[in-house]
Structure formats: C-alpha cells, structure tokens
Chains A and B, each alone.
Chain A
C-alpha cells in the first residue's frame, strides 16, 4: 500500500514532459511512505520510452504492448489490470487532456477516489491534496479518507526528473478485451495554421476577456499599430470568434517566447500560462492586483485597461 504506480504519457512517438514530472511527484510520495515507485508505459515504442524514463528513484518500469497511440479504453483496461496486480496505495496520472479522458474512468472502475489537477500531495497516513479553485484565486486542501487513492497532477508543477536510474524493466502482458473498446483514434490534425505565426514575434500585445466586447478590439489594434507589435490573445477571444485560432496563446494554442509579452485583461489561467511563461519580460495590465498573472509579471499596471491603453498609445506616439 506504500507503493506508487504512475502512468507515463506519450504522443506521436514522443514522451510528453509530464511523464518526467510524474517521476518526481511519484518519488516524493513513495518516499513519504517508504514505498517503491512503479512506472507504466502503455503503447507506442514502450521499450525506448522505458529507457528514457529509467530515472533515479524508479524501481520498476512496466512496458505494455498496446497499440501506437493513446486510446482511453485501452489505457483504462491496462491501468486497471496493473493496479490490481501491484496494489499500489497511490495511482498517479497526468492531468493532461488525455488524463482527463481516462483518469475518471479508471478511478471509477477501481472504486478508488480521484482528486484531479493536484499541485501538492502529502501522503503519510492521511492523504492530503492541494488544488486550486475559482480560477486560481484560492487554494484548497482535500483530505482523502481511503487506503488507495488516485491523483492526477497538474503539468509543469513538479520539476522533471533527470538523473539516470537503474529500474527493472518488465513487460506486462495485459489482457485487452477488444469488445470493450468502443472508440477508435483515426488520426491527428494540426490546427491554427495561417499567415501569422505569433511564436515568431518579438513583441506580443495579448488581449483577454477584460476587453469585454468585440467592439473594443480596435483600441488594442491601435496599440498594435503604434508599436509594430503582433496581436495575440487568450482563449475566450478566439472562442468568441473575435480573433482567429492562430492568435491563441496557451496549452491548446501556441507556445510563445517573445522579448516582451504584454498581457492586457488576461487573468493568467494555468492553461494560458503554459503558452507564455517562457517570455523574456512579462508585463500585465489588470484591474485585479491578485490576478494569477501577477505571479509571473516582471512589471505591472494595476488599473483599467480602458484608461491605460489610450494613454500608452499617446505616450508612444
């Protein structure tokens, strides 16, 4: 019950970063209880992935021959079987888009309580998970009263494990019931192409829901023109159809690393931050001094964008 089972994630032939973060989080939890860390690599080139994930602190890596790409029905079945076999106290999964697609199913099938999107986990006797609520405005702790628990971790919250290890690599022979696989992945599509590549820009003026209405966009376009910047945005602006998809910064949009990222009326949700935290200098204009974007900002103006932006245009002309 002191052991941890973590499930790695890969796509199109590559391990995703969160797999290495799961090793760090898993090791931390196993250490709190004197247990072992088991890692599962399901599908894809599992052997090669196992070599890459053979990191310090991993006891056993279970490779499972199970198709090329992620399929939630297959992942659910395999994870369930590995869990039954190993009886770990903690099942650690990624809170990635694919994690969202199988973690609740696995937990439900195993009848193990699940807490998603963890940013902190304590396991000694009691299990306590830290997670955010209300758009990152508050943190909460959740106590789980159960011997076995499932937790999905927020990507980029734990450091990636790096040091080489000497784990046992074992093939796990999963028994997949094909009749219970009711979904088929037929391909992938890259979206958000087009004439502008915001990831190439040196200076991004990025606009969020604080702009309120499409009719207010010209104000920002004036600023863009006055500065020769490139215009980008948070997701709601694209969802509303005010800007095309190729302008979206974030987890499901583009990752950008400009010299200056000017976030106007953007709160700094984790999925947005995933796309811009590598910017050299981050400047925020926001009425809320406690908005999560302030944690990243190098410079900030805590004020109404409708007052500041016209003045900024003036000051630049």
Chain B
C-alpha cells in the first residue's frame, strides 16, 4: 500500500498589506503549510502506523517550500518530491487543471493506491485540484472527507463527507482513490525532535517537468488573473473609539440596551 499526499505551501496576508500589480506585495505575505494539508498528512501517517504502507508527499513549489516539506517528513512522511523548474517559476497562474496534469505525471511514476489532498488551499481557495486529479488519472474520489476508514482488503475506503448543515454523507469509495481531506478529521501531531532529526536524512527529490515527461506546454492555461484589489468596505458598523476601558463600557451599555444582559 502506498499513499501520496499532495501538499502546498500557501501565502497568508498580514492585516495591513499593499497590492503590487496582480498580487499582494511579497513583503506582506507569510508562508506556511496549507491548513488542510496538515490534516491530510496526519491522516496518511496514521494509516501508516496502523499497517504497512509508504507515505510519499509531493508539492509543486519553489525551494523555499522545502521548509514545510521537511515538517511533513518530520511528522512521519517517508519521502518527498518537489516539482519545480524555470518554466513553472515563470507561470503566473497554476490553475487546478494544470496542477492536476503535473500531479498526474507524479502519480504515473509513483503508482499510489490512495492520494490524499486538502479540500482547498487557503490562499486561492479553488478547491478543485484533488477532484480534477482523480478524473485525470482515472481514480475514484471523494471531496470534503472528515472521516476515513480504509478497508484495503476489500479495496474500499468508507468515508464521511461533511455536507452543509451538520449532515454527513456516508460513502463507500472504491480504491484507488483521491480523497480531499477536511480540517478536523484528526488531530495533527507536532513534529518530535527525533522526527525533525530523522527528516534531515529522508529523501527529498526535485523533479522538473521534463523529468516527469512533460514540457512547458503543460502549463498553458486559459485562465488569466487580470486584476486584484481590496474590495470596497460594505461596513456601516458603528465603531466604538477609545481605550479598551472606554470601548468596553460602551459595549456593556449596548448589551444592556439590547436586553441580553441584566442591569
């Protein structure tokens, strides 16, 4: 059994930021492992601890991303692949279909039984790469999975899909499959010191498009970002001004007036 986990390093914007052209100025961005991917990694590592299996992570990202990949290795991922080259670096928008094509080439090499992705990446929130990948490689799939019980012998994954309104759908999914993992499915562990040490000697291979049998044409996309701007505030909130002491008194008065607190 082999599990491939796709991970992405995402950018988070600070409260105060400036837009430079089509993106937030890099000075105001902080990079971190995508929240949803943390849960996907944990799920894969837990499956590995329950039985024999290899866990490989793959990311499409620049050298900077190796920091987050090492964290995945420290938490129990066996091996990591980072796909990058000059052509990818020069591409503005990697849309989900493009990422799916690149990841499909990795799947062809790795031949996993299960692919775990996050539901979405916290920065662009497309929420489409996992399912697009499944369709591209001919795997079954399930999106927004918040419970997974793998029955490798029967070749199925029994999952819960988290729907709206506190309802979960129970679904049986044939393997091989791609599952997009929802936050809360498990409790991601912290990397241990021992894990962090071991991660240093785990393989982290860099693949270029041509290593994967692809060329720059694979990156062509009909999607083009043409603008980014801060939306005009629709806020008509009354903002209480002053020190915390003063604003707190105003809020307390408001709550009394609204009749939700005594006094």
Contacts and interface: CB of A to CB of B under 8 A. Distances in A.
B247 interface: yes
Nearest to B187: A241
Contacts of B251: 283, 299, 301, 308, 312, 315
25 contacts: A11-B167, A72-B141, A73-B140, A100-B144, A100-B180, A104-B131, A105-B135, A134-B11, A137-B230, A138-B13, A138-B228, A140-B227, A142-B225, A143-B225, A183-B171, A186-B172, A229-B261, A235-B184, A252-B165, A295-B233, A299-B239, A300-B235, A300-B240, A301-B239, A311-B248
Interface string B47-67: 000000000000000000000
Contacts of B171: 183-186
A312 B119 CA distance: 38
Interface string B2-28: 000000000111010101001010000
Given A138-B228, A227-B260, A252-B164, A116 B187 contact: no
Nearest to B157: A183
Given A104-B135, A133-B125, A137-B17, A115 B227 contact: no
Interface in A67-103: 70, 72-73, 76, 95-98, 100-103
Interface residues of B, number: 86
A187 interface: yes
B220 to A, nearest CB: 10
A313 B37 CA distance: 38
Nearest to A226: B261
Interface string B207-231: 0000000000000011111111111
Contacts of B225: 140-143
Interface in B231-250: 231, 233-235, 237-240, 244-245, 247-249
A138 B230 contact: yes
Interface stretch (A23-31, A46-54, A55-63, A106-114): A106-114
Contacts of B198: none
Interface residues of A, number: 95
Interface stretch (B78-86, B93-101, B105-113): B93-101
Interface string B137-181: 000111110000000000000001111111111111110010010
B97 A107 contact: yes
Nearest to A140: B228
A34 interface: no
B127 interface: yes
Contact of B170 (A189, A254, A259, A297): A189
Contacts of A133: 123-125, 228
Given A294-B233, A298-B237, A186 B170 contact: yes
A135 interface: yes
A86 B128 CA distance: 25
Contact of B13 (A73, A137, A189, A254): A137
Given A182-B174, A227-B255, A307-B244, 17 more contacts: A11-B167, A95-B127, A100-B127, A100-B131, A101-B131, A109-B135, A113-B97, A113-B222, A138-B19, A138-B229, A188-B169, A188-B170, A191-B166, A202-B260, A241-B187, A260-B260, A298-B237
A290 B237 contact: no
Contacts of A254: 166
A-B pairs, top 8 by smallest CB distance, nearest first, are: A311-B248, A203-B260, A315-B252, A239-B184, A182-B140, A182-B174, A104-B131, A101-B143
A108 B170 contact: no
A316 B252 contact: yes
A33 interface: no
A59 B249 CA distance: 57
A54 B17 CA distance: 46
Nearest to A253: B166
B195 to A, nearest CB: 21
Given A137-B230, A299-B238, A307-B244, A187 B97 contact: no
Interface in A206-257: 227-229, 235-236, 238-241, 245, 251-255
